[in-house]
Structure 1
Amino acid sequence: MLTTERSDGAAKGFRATQKVSTNPTISQKRTFTFSNFKSIFLISPDVQFENAKTLIALLVVAAAIFFSSDFELPVRAAIGLGATVTAFAFFRLVHLSSEIAQETVEPNVLHDTLEHMPHGLAHWGANAQLIWCNRAYRDLMGLEKTNAEQGTSYSDIMSEATNPITFDAHKDNQNHRLVIAKCADDKTIRIEDISDPAHNFVTVITDCTDHFKATRAKKKLEQQYRELAKQYHAEKLAAETASRSKTSFLAHLSHDMRTPLNHIIGFADLVQHEPYGPLGDKRYGNYIADIKRSGESLLASFAAILDLAQLEGGETVQNNQDVDMYKFVQQSLRRHTARATRAGLKLEAQNICDSHVEADPALLRRMIDNLMDNAIRFTQDGGSIVLNCWCGSDGVVLEVTDSGIGMPKERLELLSQPFILGEAAFSKEHSGLGLGIATSRAIAELSNGSLVIDSNPGIGTTVAITLPTKSEDSTLEKAA
Structure 2
Amino acid sequence: MVRSFANPAYVKLLDIEPWLRRIVPVMVGLFVVALGSVSFMNASATREETLVDAANDIDILAAYATAEFGRLAQDASRAAPSKVLALVPGHVLHDGRFMLVTNESGAVTASLPGGLYTQTTLTDVLGPTQPLTTFADKAGVIAITLGSGAKALATVRNLPAPYGQLAVIQPINLALAGWRQRTTSTLILLGAAGLVLTAISTAYFWQAWRARQADVICDSFRRRLDTALSRGRCGLWDWDIARGTLYWSDSMYEMLGYERSSEFMSFGEVNRLVHPDDGDLFSLADTLASREATTVDHAFRVRAANGDWVWVRARAELVRDGENRDPHLIGIAIDITEQRRMAQETATADMRLRDAIETISEAFVLWDDDNQLVMCNSKFQVLHNLAPEAVQPGTSYETLAAALTPPVVQNRIDTAPDKAGSRSYEAQLPDARWLQINERRTKDGGYVSVGTDITMLKRQEERLLDSERKLTASVADLKRSRQTLEMQAQQLADLAERYLEQKAEAESANRAKSEFLAKMSHELRTPLNAILGFSEVMEAGIFGSLGCDKYTDYCRDIRKSGEYLLGLIADILDMAELEAGRVRMKREPLLADEAVNSAISAISETARSRGLTLTAESLPDTLVHADRRALEKILGHLLSNAVKFTPEGGKVMVRARKIGGSVNIYVEDTGVGIPKDALPKLARPFEWVDMDATKPTDGSGLGLAIARSLAELHGGGLRIRSCEGTGTIVLLHLPLKAPSGFEIASAQVTKH
Q: What do residues 305-327 of structure 1 show as CA deviations (whole Å, max 9, x unaligned)?
A: 22332233233343321122244
The match for 1:259 is: 526
Cα distance, 1:344 vs structure 2 = 4.7
Supply the AA of the counterpart residue of 2:456.
H
Cα distance, 1:423 vs structure 2 = 0.6
Distance in 2, matches of 1:279 and 1:328, equals: 41
Q: Which of 323, 330, 336 is equivalent to 2:590?
A: 323
Cα distance, 1:254 vs structure 2 = 1.6
The verdict on how the C-alpha distance between 1:315 and 1:276 changes in structure 2, with shifts beyond 3 A counting, is same
The match for 1:250 is: 517
The answer as to 2:750 corresponding to 1:445 is no
The answer as to 2:377 corresponding to 1:110 is no
Cα distance, 1:256 vs structure 2 = 1.8
Q: What do residues 355-381 of structure 1 show as CA deviations (whole Å, max 9, x unaligned)?
A: 432211111011101101111221234
Distance in 2, matches of 1:289 and 1:375, equals: 25
The verdict on how the C-alpha distance between 1:233 and 1:186 changes in structure 2, with shifts beyond 3 A counting, is closer
Distance in 1, matches of 2:627 and 2:686, equals: 25
The answer as to 2:727 corresponding to 1:422 is no
- Residues 663 and 734 in structure 2, CA contact (< 8 A), matched pair in contact too: yes
The answer as to 2:722 corresponding to 1:455 is yes
Q: What do residues 423-476 of structure 1 show as CA deviations (whole Å, max 9, x unaligned)?
A: 1266448863322112212211332332232333233322222223215999xx
Task: Name the SS for the 1:424 alignment partner.
Answer: coil
Supply the AA of the counterpart residue of 1:411.
A
Supply the AA of the counterpart residue of 2:629.
A
The verdict on how the C-alpha distance between 1:428 and 1:97 changes in structure 2, with shifts beyond 3 A counting, is same
The match for 2:462 is: 135
Cα distance, 1:164 vs structure 2 = 2.5
Comparing both chains, which one has the higher relative contact order based on Cα–Cα distances under 8 Å and sequence gaps of 6 or more?
1
Alignment of 1:387-426 (within 5 A): 387-424=654-691
Supply the AA of the counterpart residue of 1:108.
R
- Residues 678 and 689 in structure 2, CA contact (< 8 A), matched pair in contact too: yes
Identity of aligned residues (%): 32
* Structure 1: unaligned runs, 5 residues or longer: 1-17, 20-42, 46-93, 121-133, 143-161, 166-181, 188-212, 475-480
The verdict on how the C-alpha distance between 1:294 and 1:373 changes in structure 2, with shifts beyond 3 A counting, is closer
Q: Which of 360, 370, 390 is equivalent to 2:637?
A: 370
Please tell me the root mean square deviation across aligned C-alpha atoms, in Å.
5.0
The match for 1:164 is: 472
Distance in 1, matches of 2:553 and 2:538, equals: 11
Q: Which of 508, 517, 523 is equivalent to 1:241?
A: 508
Distance in 2, matches of 1:275 and 1:381, equals: 36
The match for 1:149 is: none
- Residues 433 and 455 in structure 2, CA contact (< 8 A), matched pair in contact too: no
Distance in 2, matches of 1:300 and 1:248, equals: 19
Alignment of 1:342-381 (within 5 A): 343-349=610-616, 352=619, 355-381=622-648
Distance in 1, matches of 2:541 and 2:654, equals: 47
- Residues 353 and 390 in structure 1, CA contact (< 8 A), matched pair in contact too: no
The verdict on how the C-alpha distance between 1:398 and 1:228 changes in structure 2, with shifts beyond 3 A counting, is farther
Larger radius of gyration: 2
Distance in 2, matches of 1:435 and 1:472, equals: 25
Task: Name the SS for the 1:432 alignment partner.
Answer: coil
The answer as to 2:569 corresponding to 1:302 is yes
Alignment of 1:182-197 (within 5 A): 183=475
Cα distance, 1:384 vs structure 2 = 3.6
Distance in 2, matches of 1:465 and 1:231, equals: 42
Relative to structure 2, which stretch is displaced further, 109-118 or 257-266? 109-118
TM-score, length basis structure 1: 0.51
The verdict on how the C-alpha distance between 1:108 and 1:385 changes in structure 2, with shifts beyond 3 A counting, is same
Q: What do residues 62-99 of structure 1 show as CA deviations (whole Å, max 9, x unaligned)?
A: xxxxxxxxxxxxxxxxxxxxxxxxxxxxxxxx987742
Alignment of 1:7-26 (within 5 A): none
Task: Name the SS for the 1:396 alignment partner.
Answer: strand
Q: What do residues 148-170 of structure 1 show as CA deviations (whole Å, max 9, x unaligned)?
A: xxxxxxxxxxxxxx7625xxxxx
- Residues 115 and 135 in structure 1, CA contact (< 8 A), matched pair in contact too: no
Task: Name the SS for the 1:418 alignment partner.
Answer: coil
- Residues 405 and 460 in structure 1, CA contact (< 8 A), matched pair in contact too: yes
The verdict on how the C-alpha distance between 1:98 and 1:277 changes in structure 2, with shifts beyond 3 A counting, is closer
Relative to structure 2, which stretch is displaced further, 451-460 or 344-353? 344-353
The verdict on how the C-alpha distance between 1:186 and 1:105 changes in structure 2, with shifts beyond 3 A counting, is farther
Supply the AA of the counterpart residue of 1:380.
P
- Residues 399 and 465 in structure 1, CA contact (< 8 A), matched pair in contact too: yes
Cα distance, 1:282 vs structure 2 = 4.7
The match for 1:126 is: none
- Residues 688 and 697 in structure 2, CA contact (< 8 A), matched pair in contact too: no
Distance in 1, matches of 2:616 and 2:546, equals: 52
- Residues 655 and 666 in structure 2, CA contact (< 8 A), matched pair in contact too: yes
Cα distance, 1:401 vs structure 2 = 2.6
- Residues 311 and 446 in structure 1, CA contact (< 8 A), matched pair in contact too: no
* Structure 2: unaligned runs, 5 residues or longer: 1-362, 365-384, 388-398, 408-426, 437-451, 742-752
Distance in 2, matches of 1:139 and 1:422, equals: 70
Distance in 2, matches of 1:163 and 1:387, equals: 75
Distance in 1, matches of 2:510 and 2:702, equals: 16
Distance in 1, matches of 2:709 and 2:655, equals: 21
The match for 1:465 is: 732
The verdict on how the C-alpha distance between 1:119 and 1:236 changes in structure 2, with shifts beyond 3 A counting, is farther
Distance in 2, matches of 1:394 and 1:232, equals: 44
Distance in 1, matches of 2:674 and 2:684, equals: 15
Distance in 2, matches of 1:119 and 1:257, equals: 88
Supply the AA of the counterpart residue of 1:117.
L
The verdict on how the C-alpha distance between 1:288 and 1:446 changes in structure 2, with shifts beyond 3 A counting, is same
- Residues 663 and 733 in structure 2, CA contact (< 8 A), matched pair in contact too: yes
